Copies of this chain bind each other. A is one copy, B any other.
């Protein structure tokens, strides 16, 4: 599932019914398409993205009531795209083995954070990038940023890079598998993408990592202190939280899907 997060209060359903969420829109469309009573169906999501965060490769799974006829996946895909609003696009529907969970069967997630680097503010990218003029353009500074980012790779307690309230009773250890800076352009505007792959992420973890790199770029944090920030296990040790608009859940990896998606399809 892809969505433009700008006008959503995040992926997850909220107790306040006035908050527009991706989950509610999706579950409503699913119940309508499958002619199920509202609330008959619960979805499981790979990555609970925050308000304003986008997705191109979100994955959502659900179980159908027992004894039903399995739906035609191609027809369900068309129905879902007809029933969801313009800022949600369902890209594919697969039938999967019983017990599959979009969340617990995921082996890794990739997030991409886009920084618009031109001197003037982005226009076509204003909903999809953070404007930091000149970010990463100077080769010496760029090398420092990349080296700082590299020190986060591997298994660490990432408490310093997460919303503290979200950590209560939770294991704060996560594994970062890769972090790369890629210079590209979208719609004619120069962008540096910070591409981060990890097994899983804490709440706001990517945005605090990027915000801390931005503080290094601005000279507010020394480029060599990331190991110290990690060791502190204290959110106050890290830098700012980068704005939601620059962040996109790029994709979720599942070993069987990746190797042979067709075999799992109906």
Contact = CB atoms under 8 A, between A and B. Distances in A.
Contacts of A122: 89
Nearest to A250: B188
A2 B81 contact: no
Chain A, interface residues (CB within 8 Å), range: 20 to 34
A91 to B, nearest CB: 5
Interface in A113-139: 118, 120-124, 126, 128
A193 to B, nearest CB: 11
A89 B121 contact: yes
Given A90-B120, A120-B89, A124-B128, A188 B56 contact: yes
Contacts of A89: 120-123
A124 B91 contact: no
Given A56-B187, A188-B248, A81 B128 contact: no
Contacts of A77: 120
Contact of A128 (B4, B187, B250): B187
A187 B146 CA distance: 23
Given A4-B123, A124-B128, 8 more contacts: A3-B123, A81-B121, A86-B126, A88-B123, A89-B120, A89-B121, A128-B187, A187-B187
Interface of A: 2-4, 54, 56-57, 77, 81, 86-91, 118, 120-124, 126, 128, 186-189, 248, 250
